[in-house]
Amino acid sequence: MKSLLLSGFMLLAATVVQSQELKPLNPDTETDRIDWSQLATKLGPMPKPAAGTRVGAVSKTLTNEYWRLLGEGYQSLGKKLGVKVAYQAAQNEGDQVGQLSIAETMIAQGVNVLLVSPQTNANLEPILGEAKQAGIPVVNVNDAVIPLAPHYVGNVQRDNGVRVARWFIANRPSGGKLAVIEGQAGVFAATQRTAGFKATIAAEGGKLKVVASVPGNWDRQLSYDAATTLLQQHPDLVGFYCNNDTMALGVVEAVKNANLLGKVAVFGTDGITDAHASIRAGELTGTVDSFPVLTGEVAMEAALRILAKEPVPRVVATPQALITKDNIERYKGKGADLRAVLEEDVRSGK
């Protein structure tokens, strides 16, 4: 009993010390940051990991292709560097307790560094003290944010919504009604994506107006049902912005069933394979692609640099781009060099 109380006290003390050292994290505005394209130029060549290095990676779920692709990025760089990567995920995007259990098990097994993509901003917070006591660095990788996370890798979530709003402002000059399908409540990415979209539309002060913003909880069927209802309530809608591609593809089906394809624009977020196929087919209008495989590679690189005691800033910002039928081949065409294209975007300020 005494040992349990002592262990609990030590974990609490570690969390308190950490809270004194770090301010609550907002990765969209954190000033201690570096762009993914600057890691090598500012920190030098990638250090060689020590023999036997083991990386633990915990994802939200593998039912969403985005998280499978992120894992491919982890595994790809891990294989190249000779690092063992254990990649596991919760059963679904609502299994918060299961995800926490996976993370705690990896800490107990003694991984050298831990990459986590929390289901909410709170559900993996308990691991910070446990990992700190065990001397295991933790990197928060998209898209919920643990407030006291020491390191975060991901894109600027607010900018996802901003980019889509700017498309509507440029391409619907006569205005019209817009709707938002939101992700899971309590997730940083969902809140920021929605806020960026709404604020940009409102700031324009034009004829575009967001008339509805309803939850889709990352679920395709729920988003289909919500969009069907909204199209009945607002038959003059000109567009939807959805916080991820899974929801956007459900909305596309609702738009098709209402015989409004081509009249109602639909945008998603993430850049999964089905979204690209739908864009090429002329159904989904576009997606804000955050390039999950590349994000996984960048996160793995950042984690290994942190493990090597390099001065990696608290936030490593990863790339994103608004993909439509007009530019999809540039990013996703046969033979496209994605890194080169994205580095060109950085130089041109896109």
pLDDT, one tens digit per residue, over 289-321 is 999 999 999 999 999 999 999 999 999 999 999
Range of weakest confidence among 10-14, 39-43, 248-252: 10-14
Asked whether 299 and 151 are in contact (CB, 8 A), the reply is no
Residues 6+ apart with CB under 8 A from 76: 293, 296, 297
Mean pLDDT, residues 167-187: 96
271 and 310 together in one domain: no
Same domain, 72 and 130: yes
From residue 301, alpha-carbon distances to 143, 231, 320 in Å are 18, 45, 18
Indicate if the pLDDT at residue 11 is higher than 70: no
Q: What pLDDT was estimated at residue 330?
A: 97
Q: Tell me the C-alpha distance between 6 and 210, whole Å.
A: 53
**Pairwise CA distance, residues 331 & 276, whole Å:** 10
| 274, 204: one domain | yes
Q: What is the pLDDT of residue 5?
A: 35
> Does some domain include residue 4?
no
What proportion of the chain, given as a percentage, has pLDDT over 90?
A: 91
At residue 122, what is the residue type?
A
Same domain, 211 and 342: yes
Say what the alpha-carbon torsion angle 105, 108, 114, 116 is, to the nearest 10 degrees: 30
**Domain assignment present for 107:** yes
The yes-or-no verdict on residue 183 having pLDDT over 70 is: yes
Instruction: Please count the CA atoms within 13 angstroms of the CA of 324 that sit on its side-chain side.
Output: 11
79 inside domain: yes
Q: Same structural domain for residues 78 and 28?
A: yes
Domain check: are 124 and 216 in the same one?
Answer: no
Q: Would residue 7 count as lying in a domain? A: no
In terms of domains, do 178 and 229 share one? yes
Average the pLDDT over each of 5-14, 73-82, 120-129, 301-310 and give the range with the smallest value: 5-14
- Residue 161 belongs to a domain with what CATH number? 3.40.50.2300
Greater confidence (281 vs 347) lies with: 281
Residue 290 CA: distances (Å) to CA of 76, 173, 207, 264: 17, 27, 29, 24
Residue-level pLDDT at 46 = 95
Residue 339 forms part of a structural domain: yes
Average pLDDT value for the chain: 93
Residue 241 has pLDDT above 50, yes or no: yes
Give me the amino acid identity at 169: I
On whether residue 236 sits in a domain, the answer given is yes
Domain count within the chain: 2
Are 161 and 280 part of one and the same domain?
A: yes
- Digit-coded pLDDT (tens) for 259-297: 999 999 999 999 999 999 999 999 999 999 999 999 999
Gap between the Cα atoms of 232 and 333, Å rounded: 37
pLDDT tens-digit profile of 61-101?
Answer: 999 999 999 999 999 999 999 999 999 999 998 999 999 99
Domain assignment of residue 303, given as a range? 22-152+293-317
Asked if residue 342 is part of any domain, the answer here is yes
Question: For residue 14, is pLDDT > 80?
Answer: no
What pLDDT does residue 350 have?
A: 83
Position 22 scores a pLDDT of 85
pTM summary value: 0.91
Q: Is the pLDDT of residue 12 over 90?
A: no
Structural domain contains residue 126: yes
Do 114 and 185 reside in the same domain of the chain? no
State the pLDDT at residue 10.
40
Same domain membership, residue 304 and residue 238: no
In terms of domains, do 161 and 236 share one?
A: yes
> pLDDT band for position 205 (50/70/90)?
confident
Q: Within this chain, do residues 121 and 161 fall inside the same structural domain, yes or no? A: no
E strands, 90-222, are 113-116, 138-141, 152-154, 176-182, 208-215
- Closest residue by Cα to residue 76 from 310, 293, 254, 303: 293
- The per-residue pLDDT for 18 is 45
